[in-house]
Structures are given as structure tokens and as C-alpha cells.
A and B are shown apart, each in its own frame.
Chain A
Amino acid sequence: NAGVTQTPKFRVLKTGQSMTLLCAQDMNHEYMYWYRQDPGMGLRLIHYSVGEGTTAKGEVPDGYNVSRLKKQNFLLGLESAAPSQTSVYFCASTTAKNTEAFFGQGTRLTVV
């Protein structure tokens, strides 16, 4: 079982460029999440999805968009990257609310 897989693992963007981070899970989980991790701030929820075709905003959604066209995939898009979006991004999935989360390996994004 691969679990939760994120691609890419590393990326450097120039300010204003766009990119999409892909998260794929093979556990048939309903819920998927995108977090960003910054020093001293823990993990902050960007967007999440409670099922295929649904998305919702988390704590820090500005500057990001998401899509969940297939149950197993959750995409995070940056339309116009800014240096403030330099961070480590984690995708996670759960079977339901309040259950343990399975995390991907993380994507280290640097915006210059």
C-alpha cells in the first residue's frame, strides 16, 4: 500500500508563476486535506474535502485553489505564487472526521 503520495517533493518557483501539487491516496478515504507547515506555527489547514466533488476552505485559504474530481486525488493550485507561500505542504487523508490522519511525505516549495 502506497498510502498518501505527494508530487512533486521539491519545487522552486519564481514569483508570479503557477503550479499544481498532486495528492493521491489509495486507501479509499473520504476526507482529504492540504496543510502548510511553517517554523513555529505547526500545521495550518489550507483547504479540505469531505468527498469527491466537494471542497471547503480551511484556516489559510487565500492564494490557493483546490479540486477533488476523483475520490483518490486532491489537487492544490497556486495561481500566482508569492514568497509568502514558501513552505512545506502536506496532504493528509482520513476515513471520516475525527479519525487518524495519514500524511504524505510533504512538498518543499520555495518561491523566489
Chain B
Amino acid sequence: KAGVTQTPRYLIKTRGQQVTLSCSPISGHRSVSWYQQTPGQGLQFLFEYFSETQRNKGNFPGRFSGRQFSNSRSEMNVSTLELGDSALYLCASSPGGSGGANEQFFGPGTRLTVL
């Protein structure tokens, strides 16, 4: 089974631009979550999508948004980029059943650098 894939792997943008990151979950997984990883703040939850609906949301500004398609692939978008948005963005997928003990399978991440 193919793992979680994320594209692109590396991205360089300038302040004020917007960016879209893509995540393809493991086949059959219906839940996709996004995390931001920075040296200062560590790993922080952005949002989770299940069956095309946002099921959970973290404490990020509205510039961060996401969506999920009917094939479970997900995109996240960051508008009006700021220097502080430079980070590794990780996507994780799981089967998505209820209970909270679902194993999250992580992709390799997209390294975003904002100049």
C-alpha cells in the first residue's frame, strides 16, 4: 500500500503570496489532518477533514484553510503569507473511525520557506 504523499516537497514563496499544498492519503483512509511543525512552536494541529467535512479545527488564523475532495485527497491553502508561516507542513491520514485511537500515518511533509 502506498503511503501518504505530499506535494510539493519544498516551496519558496514571498510575503503576501498565497500557497496551496496537497496531500494524498493512504487508499481507503477517509480522514486527513494537517499539522504545522516549527522549531519554536513544535507540532501544532491545523485541521482535520473527514468525508469532505471539516471535523476539527486548531487555533490558527483564517488565512489557513483547507478542503477535502470526494477521493479523500486534501489541500490546504495559506493566503497572505507571513515570514512566520515558514514551517514543515505535515499531513496525516487515518481510517477515520470514531474512538480517537486511530493510528495517524504521516507524510514526509512540505517544507515552506517564506522570504
A binds B: no
